Amino acid sequence: MVKVATYNAAGTQTGETELPESIFGLRPHRPVLHQALVAELANRRAGTHATKTRGQVRGGGRKPWRQKGTGRARHGSRRSPIWSGGGITFGPQPRDHAQDLPRQSRAAALRLALSAQAAAGRVVVVAPPTGEVVKTKTMAALLHAVGAGDRAIVVASDAERAVTRAVSNLRGARSLSPRRLSVRGLLTPGTVVITQSALAELQEALGS
C-alpha cells in the first residue's frame, strides 16, 4: 500500500491514508502515458484550419497575357498556386483530429499518472471545508498548509461544488472530477490534493 499524509479542514496533519497500489503504486510506462496524452490533445483540436484551392480563390477569369510574343512565361490564370494571391496546393482543410482510445487504455494511463505523482510525493488527502459556501481565502490557506502552494490539482467530487468554485478563483490551482480526470490535468506540475469523498469515487471509477 502507498501511504500519504492526511489533513483536516484546518490544514493540520491528522495521520496517513493508505492508497491502493493498483492505482497509486504502479511502475512507470511511458508508451501508455504518451498515447493517452496525444489522444487527449488531439481531441481538443478544433480542426477548423482551412486554405483556399485555386478553384476557390477570386479572379482568374481571363488569361493574364497572350500565349506568345511577350517574352514572359505562359500563364492561363491568376489563380495558379505559383501566383501571389493564388490558390494553395495541398493546404490544410477542415477535418476531425479526434483519436479513439480504448477505455481500458485510458484508465491505465490515469492510474500511471496518479502513480507517478504519488512516487514523487505529490499526493495528499484532505477533509475539505463543508457547507454551501467555502471562501476562496479558506481554500488558499488549506492548500498552502498541505504544501500545494500556488500549484494545486484538487480532485473533488461533483457534490463538493463549493470547494470546486473556491478553487476556480485561485490562480495556479485547478479542480478535477474523479469521473472526468485527464492525463494532461494530472501531469500538470503541482500537488494532487484529493478529498476523502473523491478518493472513494476515484477507486470506484478506476476499478479498485
Q: What is the pLDDT of residues 37-90, one digit of tens each?
A: 999 999 999 999 999 999 999 987 889 999 999 999 999 999 999 999 999 999
- pLDDT at 208 exceeding the cut of 70: no
The model carries a pTM of 0.82
Matching residue, cell 504502479: 26
Give the pLDDT score at 130: 80
Give the pLDDT score at 123: 94
* CA 12 to centroid of chain Cα atoms: 31
The Cα–Cα gap between 85 and 82 comes to 9
Tell me which DSSP letter residue 113 carries: H
Cβ(136)–Cβ(170) under 8 Å? yes
Cβ(183)–Cβ(40) under 8 Å? yes
H helix intervals, the chain = 21-24, 30-43, 103-119, 136-145, 161-168, 183-186, 196-205
The Cα–Cα gap between 152 and 172 comes to 7
Mean pLDDT of the chain, nearest integer: 91
Residue 36 has φ and ψ, to the nearest 5°, of -70, -40
pLDDT-based confidence at residue 147 (cuts at 50, 70, 90): confident
- pLDDT at 92 exceeding the cut of 90: yes
The Cα–Cα gap between 118 and 24 comes to 6
Residue 134 has φ and ψ, to the nearest 5°, of -120, 120
Convert the pLDDT of each residue in 178-197 to its tens digit.
Answer: 988 999 999 888 999 999 99
Percentage of residues in the chain having pLDDT higher than 70? 100
State the average pLDDT over residues 131-157. 88
Of the candidates 116, 170, 115, which has an alpha carbon nearest to the alpha carbon of residue 142?
170
